[in-house]
């Protein structure tokens, strides 16, 4: 099932991060499963331990199933100064999950991340590929509501 | 060629995308169509205008009206009033009192001179304003020695943080005889508060490519990579497009301009790790490994990616190169101060009126940067301090407001310029909170390779957390400084070595904030 992705990349270790990105992006639960790791290991002829080492090193990768929408709230100093802690409380409230958890309906996973480079609009979060800035309590509620309704 | 009576420039970057710029642009096209104005009025997507917190903005030429915080429902009114009736929609005009305080400084800009002015997705616009002339000049009339001595003479120093002379770096790799050499752009911008490289890549991707081409030719690299962080989707898209266009125009590829020189540029995407900004960690990541730093020596310039000689330079550094080649080293050295020439792009955040970017001469004092180029302190609150250089930076107090900001002058005060991130804090901010946030960041990003860093961060985090809760003792402050200095001496890479700067400066310059938590 990963052949289509493998076809695009020659079997060299330098393509590992690309392949993992693509596998994760194409999985409805946005993670890299054990099966996928085995398949990549066979294709690139590198040990599974190496792949897990890479997967757990970079924050963008997950080895656990996640929600349809992965929320990544920036907690770096510029966002912190502009109230990211308050936004985090609101997100935990609205979603009723802790950091790292997924809502029971499988819609949202709440994560924290380091600087996203959009500090002019702090506090900032990313939901999947989209950036949301100048967050306030009301804005957070609206954004979550909009995604739920979509 | 079509002639238009008006041009609308819309700033499209991550910030305005977050504010819905695409929907607004579509609505604008629809309204212009409805009034049969599409042939008279041209819409151009450009990079960031440089100030943020103003939602979707557009600038209309030739009258130079700037509308900000535009919503979809405002579009019909703008088209009817502004374009049909010729009356400005005053309620949407960017607050002119504030704007008067904001100096774009376009005259002195080098790396952001085109940003917000041209369409970054159209190579012809870049060529139209003299783009790729430097590349042609370098390739046709200059050899490696000549380029490197020009860059050396310009005094250009690395803009990623360390400030190493760029020409000197190139001169280590150029003479090496190897079957393959590589040139890598470090676009893994992860220093908290830094987004200058994103704005350069989003606003003027061809400028980076041109600098990269010249650099590659100078050191003899026929393969070049741009290592870019995975979160920067728009940069990746625009660079991919720019590379494809350059190939199509024969500016990149085989036997460029008939010179016999071949060059291929590829994009490598990261996956979120601060430590990968360190050049050897970046190389590890490029090879498909965990991004843990390597031993130096051998330095990458001698033995880098896949053991090939590899020059690694920051985006902003390389974006300076085309202007140096085109206008000469002495032109460049007229910018900035002695020992630190050129300009610096700062990303301004926190309690200022215009968080965003500014590009000013090296040596411009912090006070001027805040007052003249960032609109001053927000709500006229009092300046308390600034975190300069990102998390691996220094907490400056108001005593240093008038110090020249350049690599050498700041060093005299045990401070650094770093990546150019400036987080401005007003009198209300508690420095204990800020230091806690900085240490929490490092604790998360420590890669785990060496114990001084991973262990040290853990202890620092415990100490600062207890101080923040009001459970700390005065001797904890001395202990924190001591731990950070041991980390400086014993950590494997600059990540762990950096903690001393924020820790020591926060405690020494704002001791009263810490003591207040201990009463």
pLDDT tens over chain B, length 519 residues: 467 888 899 988 877 887 889 999 999 999 999 999 988 898 988 877 766 667 888 888 887 888 988 999 999 999 999 998 888 888 888 776 666 666 778 889 999 999 888 999 999 999 999 999 999 999 999 999 999 999 999 999 999 878 899 999 999 999 999 999 999 999 999 899 999 999 999 999 999 999 999 999 999 999 999 999 988 989 999 999 999 999 999 999 999 999 999 999 999 999 889 999 899 999 999 999 999 999 999 999 999 999 999 999 999 999 999 999 999 999 999 999 998 999 999 999 999 988 888 999 999 999 999 999 888 999 999 999 999 999 999 999 999 999 999 988 888 888 888 889 999 999 999 999 999 999 999 999 999 899 999 999 999 999 999 999 999 999 999 999 999 999 999 999 999 999 999 999 999 999 999 999 998
How far is the alpha carbon of B230 from chain A, nearest alpha carbon, in Å?
8
**Tokens standing for B7?**
């041009």
A69-149: CATH class: alpha beta
Select from B271, B286, B435 the residue whose CB has the most chain A CBs within 10 Å, as the one to mutate to test that interface: B271
Q: What is the model's pLDDT at position B11?
A: 86
Q: Which fold has domain B6-100?
A: Glutaredoxin (3.40.30)
How would you list the strands of the sheet with B65-67, edge to edge? B41-46, B6-11, B58-61, B65-67
User: What distance in Å separates the CA atoms of residue A110 and residue A135, rounded to the nearest whole number?
Assistant: 15
Classify domain B123-332 by CATH architecture: 3-Layer(aba) Sandwich (3.40)
DSSP letter (8 states) at residue A64: S
A80 and B191: CB-CB below 8 Å? no
Tell me if chain A has a CB within 8 Å of the CB of B62.
no
The model's pTM: 0.91
A57 and B391: CB-CB below 8 Å? no
In this complex, the residue of A16, A119, A134 whose CB is nearest that of residue B193 is: A119
Nearest to B493 by CA among B319, B283, B352: B283
Closest residue in A to B53 (Cα–Cα):
A121
B270 and A82: CB-CB below 8 Å? no
Q: Give the burial class of B398: count Cβ atoms within 10 A of its Cβ; 0-12 exposed, 13-18 middle, 19 or more buried.
A: middle
Q: What is the model's pLDDT at position B97?
A: 63
DSSP letter (8 states) at residue B458: H
B272 and A114: CB-CB below 8 Å? yes
Q: Which fold has domain B431-516?
A: de novo design (two linked rop proteins) (1.20.1440)
In the stretch 285-324 of chain B, residues with CB closer than 8 A to chain A read 285-292
CA distances from B4 to B61, B81, B453 (A): 10, 18, 59
3-class secondary structure for B81-114? HHHHHCCCCHHHECCHHHHHCCCCCHHHCCCCCC
Select from A13, A49, A74, A120 the residue whose CB has the most chain B CBs within 10 Å, as the one to mutate to test that interface: A120
B273 and A58: CB-CB below 8 Å? yes
In this complex, the residue of B14, B274, B350 whose CB is nearest that of residue A118 is: B14
Q: Is the Cβ–Cβ distance between B147 and B167 less than 8 Å?
A: no
In this complex, the residue of B194, B272, B349 whose CB is nearest that of residue A59 is: B272
Residues of chain A with CATH 3.40.30.10: 69-149
Q: ipTM exceeding 0.90?
A: yes
Q: What is the model's pLDDT at position A149?
A: 93
In this complex, the residue of A18, A75, A117 whose CB is nearest that of residue B269 is: A18
What are the residue boundaries of the structural domains of chain B, listed by start?
Answer: 6-100, 123-332, 343-426, 431-516
Closest residue in A to B20 (Cα–Cα):
A132
Residue A103 has pLDDT above 70, yes or no: yes
Classify domain B343-426 by CATH architecture: Roll (3.10)
């Amino acid at each position: 099932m990963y052949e289509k992705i493998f076809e695009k990349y020659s079997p060299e270790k330098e393509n590992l991060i690309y392949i993992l990105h693509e596998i994760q992006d194409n999985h409805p639960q946005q993670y890299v499963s054990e099966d996928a790791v085995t398949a990549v290991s066979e294709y690139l002829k590198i040990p599974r331990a190496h792949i897990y080492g890479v997967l757990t090193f970079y924050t963008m990768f997950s080895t656990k199933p996640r929600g349809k929408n992965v929320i990544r709230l920036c907690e770096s100093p510029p966002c912190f100064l502009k109230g990211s802690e308050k936004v985090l409380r609101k997100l935990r409230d609205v979603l009723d999950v802790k950091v790292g958890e997924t809502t029971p309906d499988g819609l949202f996973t709440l994560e924290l991340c380091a600087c996203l480079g959009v500090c002019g609009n702090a506090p900032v979060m990313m939901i999947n590929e989209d950036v949301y800035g100048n967050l306030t309590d009301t804005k957070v509620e609206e954004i979550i509501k909009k995604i739920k309704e979509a | 060629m079509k002639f238009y009576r008006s041009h609308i420039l819309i700033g499209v970057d991550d910030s305005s995308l977050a504010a819905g710029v695409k929907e607004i642009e579509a609505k604008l096209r629809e309204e212009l169509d409805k009034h049969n104005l599409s042939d008279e009025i041209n819409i151009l997507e450009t990079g960031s205008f440089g100030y943020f917190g103003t939602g979707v903005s557009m600038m209309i030429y030739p009258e130079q009206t700037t509308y900000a915080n535009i919503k979809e429902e405002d579009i019909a009114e703008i088209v009817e009033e502004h374009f049909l009736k010729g009356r400005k929609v005053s309620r949407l005009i960017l607050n002119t009192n504030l704007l008067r305080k904001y100096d774009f400084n376009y005259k002195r800009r080098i790396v952001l001179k085109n940003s917000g002015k041209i369409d970054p997705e159209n190579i012809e616009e870049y060529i139209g304003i003299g783009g790729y002339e430097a590349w042609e000049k370098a390739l046709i009339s200059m050899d490696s020695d000549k380029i490197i001595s020009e860059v050396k003479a310009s005094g250009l120093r690395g803009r990623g943080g360390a400030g190493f002379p760029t020409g000197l770096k190139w001169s280590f790799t150029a003479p090496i005889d190897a079957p393959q050499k590589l040139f890598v752009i470090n676009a893994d911008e992860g220093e908290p508060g830094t987004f200058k490289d994103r704005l350069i890549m989003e606003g003027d991707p061809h400028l980076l490519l041109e600098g990269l081409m010249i650099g590659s030719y100078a050191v003899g690299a026929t393969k070049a990579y741009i290592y870019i962080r995975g979160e920067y989707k728009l940069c990746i898209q625009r660079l991919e497009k720019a590379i494809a266009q350059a190939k199509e125009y024969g500016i990149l590829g085989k036997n460029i301009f008939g010179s016999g020189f071949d060059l291929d540029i590829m994009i490598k995407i990261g996956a979120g790790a601060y430590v990968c900004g360190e050049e050897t960690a970046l190389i590890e990541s490029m090879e498909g490994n965990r991004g843990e730093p390597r031993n130096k020596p051998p330095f990458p310039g001698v033995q880098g990616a896949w053991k090939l000689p590899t020059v690694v330079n920051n985006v902003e550094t390389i974006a300076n190169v085309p202007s140096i080649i085109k206008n000469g080293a002495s032109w460049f050295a007229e910018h900035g101060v002695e020992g630190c020439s050129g300009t610096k792009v700062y990303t301004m955040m926190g309690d200022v009126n215009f968080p965003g970017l500014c590009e000013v001469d090296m040596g411009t004092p912090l006070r001027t940067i805040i007052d003249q180029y960032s609109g001053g302190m927000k709500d006229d609150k009092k300046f308390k301090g600034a975190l300069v250089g990102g998390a691996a930076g220094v907490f400056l107090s108001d005593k240093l407001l008038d110090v020249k900001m350049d690599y050498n002058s700041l060093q005299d005060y045990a401070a650094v310029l770093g990546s150019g991130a400036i987080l401005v804090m007003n009198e209300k901010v508690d420095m204990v909170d800020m230091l806690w946030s900085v240490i929490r960041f490092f604790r998360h990003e420590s890669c785990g390779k060496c114990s001084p860093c991973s262990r040290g961060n853990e202890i620092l985090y415990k100490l600062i957390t207890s101080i923040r809760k009001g459970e700390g003792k005065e001797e904890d402050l001395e202990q924190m400084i001591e731990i950070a200095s041991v980390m400086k001496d014993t950590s494997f890479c600059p990540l762990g070595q950096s903690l001393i700067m924020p820790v020591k400066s926060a405690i020494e310059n704002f001791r009263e904030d810490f003591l207040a938590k201990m009463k």
